[in-house]
Copies of this chain bind each other. A is one copy, B any other.
Amino acid sequence: MFGITPSARLRPSPYFEATLKEGVCAFTTYNHMLMPTSYGHPLEEYWRLINGVSQWDVAVERQVQLRGPDAGKLAQILAPRDLSKCNVGQGKYVPLCNHQGVLINDPILLKLADDLYWLSIADSNIWFWARAIAAERGLRVEVSEPDVSPMAIQGPKAVDVVAHVCGEWIRDLKYFWFRETQIQGIPVVVARSGWSKQGGYEIYLRDGTKGTQLWNIFREAGAPWGIGPGNPNWSERVESGLISFGGDTDDQTNPFEVRMGKYIDLHVPDDTIGIQALRRIHAEGPRRHSLGVILDEGEPVVPGFLWNPLFKDGEKVGHLTNTVFSIRVQKNLGFALISRACAVGDRVEALVNGKMERGVLTELPFL
């Protein structure tokens, strides 16, 4: 583990001071910001998410704000998913593609008003992308980065904590839906969402000066339920089959290869970026697909930084895009982005840190 040199290119989040107090000890960078990745107690952090309630600084999920009379038009041009029936207060998971049908991000779209949308993005620069398209097509829309920084409350007890802070109405919020509100005077958007399969909410802070205050409100309110710090959890997300854009995708990946086909509507307007390519890929069938891998090795395997080449009968058939020792399964699990000639049950080998690891292909998710 190496140090990170401070730089104005890597912004801390509004929750930075609060996470320092919680004992954060490692970060990743994401959208030119620092995101906590460890508080030094991986088992506690994992079980808190699975059985209790966990508090995450996910301010790195930045918002690409589309505002103006053509905001809805631009949203539909960017997203190959039918947004015509999306309501104000509704969120939708929208894979974004380039003109070749290659995935360039997979944000949650939030429709705040007919002329105001947010794309709550994964780790790639969609401001540049959206501005280029808006300007080239002469649309009346401003693309900006508002002062909005999500914090996630995740785990089976999240609903009780968030209800305690925000009110009982949050229990009826449908998945991905949201509401604009205030918490002790702090402007927020509360959404039922989050990058885990354990349930929970994301609190979109709308005033970056109030990060510590908002953090502490949930920290104190959650104490009876044993709330504590955490972050998007590598073991849980692999067990749950959650794709990490840029981690499990490369610059050739289309949505059909990574189990996102159900979020693509082939009937969207012809001026939607990538839709011609996506229709063609859908008709021909993608060349790769995403499967699980369970390694034979019983001891935790350390994956390193890069994708690991994956072989079947000595022939390279794809990549192992991540590996983690699953705490609940007690095995090394990973995702394969692999030729469609390979199927569940096939034996494969992955070259991980110079050692050939054997394993078997499985369905996703694992749990």
A→B interface (CB under 8 Å):
1-12, 24-30, 32, 34, 37-38, 98-99, 104, 123-125, 127-129, 131-133, 135-137, 145, 244, 246-248, 251, 273, 303-307, 321-322
Contacts and interface: CB of A to CB of B under 8 A. Distances in A.
Contact of A28 (B10, B38, B125, B127): B10
A85 B125 CA distance: 32
B8 A305 contact: yes
Contacts of A244: 8-9
B26 A303 contact: no
Nearest to A251: B145
Nearest to A28: B5
A9 B25 contact: no
Judged by DSSP, the binding face of A is loop
Q: Give me the 9 closest cross-chain CB pairs, A-B, nearest first.
A: A1-B3, A132-B132, A3-B26, A99-B135, A136-B136, A5-B37, A125-B125, A29-B29, A9-B246
Number of copies: 2
Given A2-B24, A2-B27, A128-B98, A247 B8 contact: yes
Contact of A98 (B3, B5, B132, B251): B132
10 contacts: A2-B34, A3-B38, A5-B37, A11-B306, A32-B123, A32-B246, A98-B131, A129-B129, A132-B136, A135-B273
Contacts of A125: 124-125, 128
B129 A7 contact: no
Nearest to A123: B9
A85 to B, nearest CB: 27
A303 B247 contact: no
Contacts of A127: 251
Nearest to A245: B9
